[in-house]
Chains A and B, each alone.
Chain A
């Protein structure tokens, strides 16, 4: 005889020791006498720290004052945040003319607009969007930030950037609403979905050309006031330097990594020498080198401004670090992938471009975000050689006669700002790591595949 229970036994609640607060405390904080002592000491340390920070940073702090002297009159124990608040524009934008700040804000907004589709699940052609961000956005932003007269080259590039941005945005909106790409949508809108492919191509090219001409005509009359690089500063400058650094480090790093893995001895030696040179010296020496030696390298009468010197130095430095990240990514690609690509008759560049790199880059995204954090933090070093990046501005606060001696508060604010940005990025990179590692489980990396 078989006894079959028709109903499921209802799940019992977890024992009290698992779900109640006391149970949790017992398990995680007071599990043994040693742990209890440890917890009490830790609690005491936390109390003291939090108390001090609370009193200095909030309870006794001065938020509104016109000068450090006024701060002192109100309270001498707390922080004088009034100085930081008064300098807020400079901390974010440096010496950029205050009437032109919208340009920096617009530039920031545009890059967000440009890159948002990369995170939208239904949008296709992400590689194109990503590439256009790296190659076209800098021209648009560069013109927005520096202004002045546009040469023909800049006119064309700015036009291309605007057309591309409009295309991107339309494409994403249409993808989200209709689930089809922009070209498809256009073809349908013109009722040519059944026309031969050639007609469709001509139609799309025609639309592209018309919009290019229209935008070119429109933007040629559009001009913004020139702002010299010496007025760039604050967080804005830090982001510009680190942004250009990371954008150029990736292609540079890929080239150097391929060079290092190349089987042409001369190219390999040159790549290794270059990579090892920059990886083994501190960034500050590279920056000093840039400011003292680059002027000697240039032909007489040709002046490279300091921002460009610094950016070149940062790019060289980061390309070498990125090269090692890329190499690690390449090493993780199983040999079977190379063999497979060759067996279907792909050459070197085709193998790399179509098979290996896309996989390797996907592997490396968390590491790339990690290097961006490092680069972003390292960019503060440019303040040592006299650029007014965010740290340079923070240090200038205490030297302004109105706020003379106010050193700690700006630094704390800067540290907080960096913490927020870097912490968010590092959380994101960890999230990506988890996301990608699940997708890679069935791929066994071949550890012996080293060069």
Chain B
């Protein structure tokens, strides 16, 4: 029927306005549309002007400065955790902004990777046919989904990370190898120091990856054409390990590890992650993995039972059923909620402000705003960062959705 998707009659079915002069001028849809929009524009404009004039007046009365000049002022405070070189008294507030963004991204990316993996495991545990395991997973999911993240965060901070042993009694998580050490001052780990020829190993790895991709494509084509499969998993893994490995050894193993050592009362060397960072990471992982577990479960359950039975009936092995029937059909249901969970992880990392991990909100929106004022500029810059991130993530989601839709046909 000739009705567009908003339920209005298509153009050629609309009453001809010129033949109905009696029709009031105002009942012409175009006129009304313009009028409503003008009205809306006037209201929005008036509101903006009103807020702007108030703000300008207030700023003038209170003798407050505006503008982004403050970004070039040197900042006098230190951040407890930094990924770039920054010295208090030397670095500027622009450095603080960048430092905050990097810290936010660092903790979010780690949390996203880990919570996705953990959530996947918990989701599969929920689907396990072992009653105990599935109930434990259920309890995990219900507990962490139904309590506020902020309470969990503070709980981990006060209740767990402040109870870790002191430096002398550090826990060695690597089982005696002393490359991963946990104590109440944070997590210390060995950190790679790249040598001169390491880039060759990197190139070898990239070559291996592209070879594997081509190889798998060829195998898939062969399967489609002839119906004969070709084992791809083992050769791919072998190639990915052997090629870079050989190059690495041939160039003389150009990678050294900086290992944390106990010197007096302090560990030195390696990389150190402070307790606030670990707390935030753990809280984000646990909270979001419980959500992700539920979407994995829902996604797998959304696959039609008949599909499974049919797959078994034509004699596919369980592994083939999983990889060729269940996962391809479950993924479209899992990925969109997964991506919006990633977005939530980035947003929720801003709760760092409650435990003092120096993320963007804590460094910039709290400390900097506290010291300098400039509320409007600072709020705008912080929001701009989060908007950029979330718009790019939803852009990714759109691309994925389009691809999935094409595959369906």
Contact surface of A with B, Cβ cutoff 8 Å: 28-29, 31, 35, 38-39, 42-43, 45-46, 261, 263-267, 270, 276-277, 279-285, 288-289, 292-293, 295-300, 335, 338-339, 341-342, 351, 373, 377-378, 380-381, 383-384, 391, 394-395, 407-408, 411-412, 414-415, 418-419, 422-423, 426, 448-449, 451
Contacts and interface: CB of A to CB of B under 8 A. Distances in A.
Contacts of B147: 377, 415, 418-419, 422
Given A298-B54, A335-B5, A395-B154, A288 B390 contact: no
B1 A339 contact: yes
Contacts of A351: 7
Contacts of A426: 145-146
B190 to A, nearest CB: 30
Contacts, number: 180
A136 B136 CA distance: 45
A288 B131 contact: no
Main secondary structure of the interface of A (DSSP, over half): helix
A270 B40 contact: yes
B146 A411 contact: no
Nearest to B347: A282
What DSSP secondary structure best describes chain B's contact surface? helix
A414 B147 CA distance: 9
List of 6 A-B pairs having minimum Cβ-Cβ separation, nearest first? A338-B7, A280-B390, A28-B131, A422-B146, A292-B375, A377-B148
A293 B361 contact: no
A292 B361 contact: no
Nearest to B154: A411
A341 B3 CA distance: 12
A338 B145 CA distance: 38
Contacts of B55: 296-297
A377 B147 CA distance: 7
A258 to B, nearest CB: 11
B383 interface: yes
Nearest to B388: A280
Interface stretch (B93-101, B252-260, B271-279, B348-356): B348-356
Interface of B: 1, 3, 5-9, 33, 36-37, 40-41, 44, 51, 54-55, 57-59, 61, 129-133, 136, 142-143, 145-152, 154-155, 158-159, 343, 347-348, 350-351, 353-354, 361, 365-366, 369, 375-376, 379, 382-383, 386-387, 389-391
23 contacts: A28-B129, A29-B130, A31-B129, A38-B133, A42-B133, A43-B132, A277-B387, A281-B386, A282-B361, A283-B347, A285-B382, A288-B379, A295-B58, A296-B58, A296-B375, A342-B3, A383-B150, A391-B151, A407-B159, A418-B146, A422-B145, A423-B146, A449-B5
A29 B136 CA distance: 13
Given A264-B33, A281-B387, A415-B147, A35 B54 contact: no
Given A338-B6, A423-B146, A449-B5, A265 B37 contact: yes
A423 B341 CA distance: 20
Contacts of B7: 335, 338-339, 341-342, 351
Nearest to A36: B130
A38 B129 CA distance: 11
A415 B155 CA distance: 9
B149 A377 contact: yes
A341 B145 CA distance: 41
Contact of B54 (A261, A284, A297, A377): A297
Given A39-B132, A42-B132, A415 B379 contact: no
Given A276-B391, A285-B379, A426-B145, A300 B158 contact: no
B387 A280 contact: yes
Nearest to B7: A338
A414 B155 CA distance: 11
B111 to A, nearest CB: 14
B389 to A, nearest CB: 8
Nearest to B383: A281
Given A276-B391, A280-B387, A285-B365, A451 B6 contact: yes
A352 to B, nearest CB: 10
A293 B154 contact: no
B152 A415 contact: yes
A394 B354 CA distance: 14
Contacts of A342: 3, 7-9
A373 B149 CA distance: 12
Contacts of A38: 130, 132-133
Given A280-B390, A282-B386, A335-B3, 17 more contacts: A35-B129, A42-B133, A42-B136, A270-B40, A270-B44, A280-B343, A282-B351, A292-B369, A292-B379, A335-B5, A339-B7, A380-B148, A380-B150, A383-B150, A384-B150, A412-B155, A451-B6
B54 A299 contact: yes
A46 B149 CA distance: 24
Contacts of B54: 296-300
A293 B379 contact: yes
B132 A277 contact: no
A264 B36 contact: yes
B358 to A, nearest CB: 15
A285 B350 contact: yes
A35 B154 contact: no
Contact of A296 (B348, B376, B390): B376
Contacts of B354: 384
B136 A261 contact: no
A276 B394 CA distance: 11
Contacts of A391: 148, 150-151, 154
A342 B14 CA distance: 12
Contacts of A297: 51, 54-55
Contacts of B3: 335, 338-339, 342
Query: Quick one: which of B58, B130, B353 has the most chain A CB within 10 A?
Result: B130
Contacts of B1: 339
Contacts of A339: 1, 3, 7
B353 A284 contact: yes
A285 B151 CA distance: 18
A264 B37 contact: yes
B132 A29 contact: yes
Nearest to B393: A280
B214 to A, nearest CB: 36
A313 B131 CA distance: 45
A267 B38 CA distance: 10
Given A384-B354, A422-B146, A266 B37 contact: yes
B114 to A, nearest CB: 20
Contacts of A449: 5
B375 A407 contact: no
Contact of B390 (A279, A380, A381, A419): A279
B159 A280 contact: no
A276 B383 CA distance: 11
Contacts of B5: 335, 448-449, 451
A284 B364 CA distance: 13
Given A297-B54, A300-B58, A285 B361 contact: yes
A39 B9 contact: no
A288 B376 CA distance: 11
A414 B6 contact: no
Contacts of B150: 380-381, 383-384, 391
Given A261-B6, A296-B376, A419 B146 contact: yes
A408 B155 contact: yes
